[in-house]
Amino acid sequence: MTTRSETQTTLDHLLTEIEHRNPAQPEFHQAAHEVLETLAPVVAARPEYAEPGLIERLVEPERQVMFRVPWQDDQGRVRVNRGFRVEFNSALGPYKGGLRFHPSVNLGVIKFLGFEQIFKNALTGLGIGGGKGGSDFDPHGRSDAEVMRFCQAFMTELYRHIGEHTDVPAGDIGVGGREIGYLFGQYRRITNRWEAGVLTGKGQGWGGSLIRPEATGYGNVLFAAAMLRERGEDLQGQTAVVSGSGNVAIYTIEKLTALGANAVTCSDSSGYVVDEKGIDLDLLKQIKEVERGRVDAYAERRGASARFVPGGRVWEVPADLALPSATQNELDENDAATLIRNGVKAVSEGANMPTTPEAVHLLQQAGVAFGPGKAANAGGVAVSALEMAQNHARTSWTAARVEEELADIMTSIHTTCHETAERYGTPGDYVTGANIAGFERVADAMLAQGVI
């Protein structure tokens, strides 16, 4: 039998090879490190996982598509963006994962997101593989008509790669209900098919699931509550710092407030707002979802309880809980040290990979409960899979039913991660628990399906 340290040496060699084979993709390297650094106990314990080529196949996308997206702005000028879809792993079901429109998007960013998505989707227990896509298009400051023309141009290529049984995109940064509407319209026009299950996050009334907009944020709060319960605590009366002010942040704040916590911050790329009375969600939704404005407008209109801190980071505001809900690597070692100094009890990732590896290490060493994104933010993709189920059955469920299923799924993910971490000798380590539990499910399916 191979020992853990021999196995870790093999995995370390593989990580070096991944870096060589995928140059200039630091986010993908980071995501691969984070997973492969925790797999030694399970690979050493179960010889079938040491089969040559298994992990090598897992880190290589099944298919990667990159394409030109030409579109015209409101002045008639031709703009050219780059589109991506990385179809990473379909052992458990059709590729599933969001589309991100943000100027920072490149192949390495999409690959990190697609890789994370494989394990996240496996943890939901539902039949969905892992994929991700997007573009370096920046929707900020673009008119509705420009966003529509961009989405149509993007789908004019993407349509040939997706389908309800093949690959099912959804939203992510910069892609919400408006963009999914334009994308769906163009898919329907090109294919002449009403194929509701080809995209999720659709509008209610044309195939969207109730609670899908809320699902990621609500799910993350339920995960944080489950971690607190393990320590004999609940959310009541806890102060929370939340970063971001988009889809995930807004519904994180909504659920925190509903469960008795006080969410005192939100942010965007211009800075953050701290509101000692708790974020007024009606005002935040009006500014962000209706006016598509910046967070400083919140502080201006809210009155004395709120102030805007230009360029600052929410982590400097003292809190019991931190829920990063904006983007990758937004919470670093210094931020973690500040949170620990201020007595934080739990950090739960609404965003994908928002906490740097050094920060994760510091938080775990300090005994802070840490919920990794692939477990904590899985509620969004889980309800996407429920949307696919409703589309397939040509039915729609009540909000209460979807919310109940979401709560059951989050509880089950928490239990799975917790028990897996205990089983492999790292009690309380949700990172190891999530990685190993997600890996086991995908690896078993890959082994059963042969070398493909």
Residue 248 CB, shortest distance to ligand NDP, in Å, is 4
Q: Are 74 and 146 in contact (CB under 8 A)?
A: yes
Residue 189 CB, shortest distance to ligand 2IT, in Å, is 22
Q: Closer CB to ligand 2IT, residue 79 or residue 178?
A: 178
* Residue of 351, 363, 368, 417 interacting with ligand NDP (CB under 6 A): 351
Cα dihedral 414, 417, 421, 422 sign: positive
Chain residue at closest Cβ approach to ligand NDP: 246
* 327 binding ligand NDP? (CB under 6 A): yes
Instruction: Using DSSP bridges, classify how beta strands 262-263 and 167-170 pair: parallel, antiparallel or unpaired.
Output: unpaired
Residue 269 CB, shortest distance to ligand 2IT, in Å, is 18
* Residue of 34, 146, 172, 320 interacting with ligand NDP (CB under 6 A): 172
Residue 96 known to be catalytic: no
The site for ligand 2IT (CB under 6 A) is made up of 96-98, 120, 170, 172, 200, 352, 380-381, 384
Task: Kindly report the backbone phi and psi dihedral angles of residue 354, in degrees, each rounded to the nearest multiple of 5, phi listed first.
Answer: -75, -20
Residue 137 CB, shortest distance to ligand NDP, in Å, is 13
What number of other Cβ atoms are within 10 A of residue 310's Cβ? 9
* 364 binding ligand NDP? (CB under 6 A): no
Q: Which residue has the tokens 């995960």?
A: 223
Task: Kindly report the backbone phi and psi dihedral angles of residue 218, in degrees, each rounded to the nearest multiple of 5, phi listed first.
Answer: -60, -45
* 135 binding ligand NDP? (CB under 6 A): no
* 238 binding ligand NDP? (CB under 6 A): no
Q: Are 272 and 306 in contact (CB under 8 A)?
A: no
Chain residue at closest Cβ approach to ligand 2IT: 98
Per-residue HEC secondary structure of 280-341 comes to CHHHHHHHHHHCCCCCHHHHHHHCCCEEEEECCCHHHCCCCEEECCCCCCCECHHHHHHHHH
Residue 415 CB, shortest distance to ligand 2IT, in Å, is 20
Give, rounded to a whole angstrom, the gap between the first and last alpha carbons of the chain. 27
Residue 172 CB, shortest distance to ligand NDP, in Å, is 5
Q: Which stretch binds ligand NDP (CB under 6 A): 17-25, 144-152, 320-328, 410-418?
A: 320-328
Q: Closer CB to ligand NDP, residue 44 or residue 118?
A: 118
Selection from 181, 99, 103, 92 nearest residue 130 by Cα: 92
CA gap 118, 418 in Å, rounded? 19
* 186 binding ligand NDP? (CB under 6 A): no
Instruction: Using DSSP bridges, classify how beta strands 262-263 and 239-242 pair: parallel, antiparallel or unpaired.
Output: parallel
* 350 binding ligand NDP? (CB under 6 A): yes
Considering CB distances under 5 to 8 angstroms, the limit depending on partner class, which of ligand NDP, ligand 2IT, none binds residue 174?
ligand NDP
Helices within 173-319 (DSSP H only): 177-191, 212-230, 247-258, 281-285, 296-302
Considering CB distances under 5 to 8 angstroms, the limit depending on partner class, which of ligand NDP, ligand 2IT, none binds residue 326?
ligand NDP
Query: Which listed residue (96, 111, 120, 132) is catalytic?
Result: 132
Residue 281 CB, shortest distance to ligand NDP, in Å, is 14
* Residue of 245, 416, 432, 435 interacting with ligand NDP (CB under 6 A): 245
Considering CB distances under 5 to 8 angstroms, the limit depending on partner class, which of ligand NDP, ligand 2IT, none binds residue 261?
none
Q: Judge residue 113's burial from the number of C-beta atoms within 10 Å of its C-beta, 0-12 exposed, 13-18 middle, 19 or more buried.
A: buried
* Residue of 94, 114, 130, 171 interacting with ligand NDP (CB under 6 A): 171
CA gap 340, 226 in Å, rounded? 20
Considering CB distances under 5 to 8 angstroms, the limit depending on partner class, which of ligand 2IT, ligand NDP, none binds residue 97?
ligand 2IT
CA 27 to chain centre: 14
Residues taking part in catalysis: 132
